[in-house]
Amino acid sequence: MFPFLEQNKDLLKYSSFHTPAIARYFFELREHSDIPKLHDIWKWSKEEGLPVVFLGSGTNMVFAFNVFEGVIIRNMLKWIEWYDGKVRAGAGELISPLSLQVSKVRENSLFGKWIWLPGTIGGAVAGNAGCFGFETKDAILEATIFDTITGETRAVWVDELDFSYRHSILKDTPHWCILDATFKTNLVSDDTTDPRTFRSGKQPGGFTCGSFFRNPVGDSAGRLIDQVGLKGYRIGGVKISELHANFFVNDENGSYEDILTLRDIAKQKVRDTFSIELQEEARILENR
Ligand SMILES: Cc1cc2nc3c(=O)[nH]c(=O)nc-3n(C[C@H](O)[C@H](O)[C@H](O)COP(=O)(O)OP(=O)(O)OC[C@H]3O[C@@H](n4cnc5c(N)ncnc54)[C@H](O)[C@@H]3O)c2cc1C
């Protein structure tokens, strides 16, 4: 055990679902000089048989445990640097203010579409986040990763990141911590949809993780869940939004069990009615 690891950390405010959860061990990466500690944590965790998980702002996570028997490393590396028409940002920077900054500098910038996109740069790269047809893969040039097994830092180019719909290579490399990402800033859009008006009219606020399920090819998970009559359906403190059926909202101090039960019901009903197997977009983090 290391003195810099916090123990029994309350995670309530570290996921946008705000369900009660505790991490047995927790580390917040804030300084560059602390990066080598990740290598030490990884080695120690493997010796102890403990999983290590990286966290951004927890807007795409369900903490599906009371106590996580492992280490959660929250990446809060924050800095922004402009050079040669590109912008490079620490993985802990929030994507939304960065997008605002880029769109102030570049007229009609595609980054304007991301101004209301929650989460960190690290989370956006890991999940190829995006909206209005503009995904992380369209703007990213490279990411810097720290390989916690070897203790080495290196650049990973966009091709190697293996992006597809809400997917990147990070899903298969749990020992890689994203440290920063570099984006081109010259992408423009003539679409005048105001992302704020669009979101506020079609998506609920409150404690949610955004879209809970991935959209099946050629369809929308929200439409399917709506069609099986689950809009407004509640389990305990969590309900399926009346506004958007792919949004689960924790509006009455719900638990992760409420979320998972609601998930199972939605999957079952959609399977029975349409023979379609919904897949989670949010990461369900469980004890193994
Ligand atoms: C109201 C609402 C609306 C949303 N709308 C959208 C939308 O329109 N489009 C969209 O794509 N998403 C949307 N989301 C989901 C969410 O915003 C994105 O998935 C976001 O990119 C997650 O970022 P995060 O920092 O919160 O990641 P987290 O939830 O903390 O983590 C997500 C995944 O990334 C990994 N990860 C995070 N940081 C690192 C790192 N530094 N190194 C390695 N792995 C890392 C985690 O291990 C985890 O697997 C929405 C969420 C909410 C709450």
Query: For residues 227 and 241, is the Cβ–Cβ distance under 8 A?
Result: no
Give nearest CA residue, ligand 1 atom 36.
123
The one catalytic residue among 211, 241, 255, 263: 211
| Separation of alpha carbons 51 and 43, rounded Å | 11
Residue 200 has pLDDT above 80, yes or no: no
Q: What phi and psi values does residue 95 have, to the nearest 5 degrees?
A: -65, -30
pLDDT band at 196 (very low <50, low <70, confident <90, very high): confident
Residue 288 has pLDDT above 80, yes or no: no
Please give the mean pLDDT across all residues of the chain.
96
The per-residue pLDDT for 199 is 77
Please give the domain boundaries of the chain with CATH numbers for all domains. Answer: 6-75 (3.30.43.10), 80-184 (3.30.465.10), 199-286 (3.90.78.10)
How far, in Å, is the centroid of ligand 1 from the Cα of 273?
30
Integer CA distances (angstroms), 23 to 11, 213, 285, in order: 7, 25, 12
Average pLDDT in the 240-256 region?
Answer: 97
Active site residue 168: no
| Separation of alpha carbons 143 and 154, rounded Å | 8
How far, in Å, is the centroid of ligand 1 from the Cα of 249?
16
How far, in Å, is the centroid of ligand 1 from the Cα of 74?
13
Residue 29 has pLDDT above 80, yes or no: yes
Residue 201 has pLDDT above 80, yes or no: no
Atom of ligand 1 nearest to the CA of 59: 26
The per-residue pLDDT for 66 is 98
The per-residue pLDDT for 74 is 98
Atom of ligand 1 nearest to the CA of 177: 42
Residue 105 CB contacts under 8 Å (≥ 6 apart), including other chains: 185
pLDDT band at 266 (very low <50, low <70, confident <90, very high): very high
- Which residues are near ligand 1 (CB < 6 Å)? 16, 53-61, 75, 91, 117-120, 122-124, 126-127, 129-131, 170, 177-178, 208-210, 283
pLDDT digits (tens, 9 = 90+) for 37-67: 999 999 999 999 999 999 999 999 999 999 9
The one catalytic residue among 93, 135, 142, 281: 281
pLDDT band at 135 (very low <50, low <70, confident <90, very high): very high
Closest CA to 281 of 219, 225, 224, 214: 214
Q: What percent of the chain has pLDDT over 90?
A: 91
The per-residue pLDDT for 198 is 74
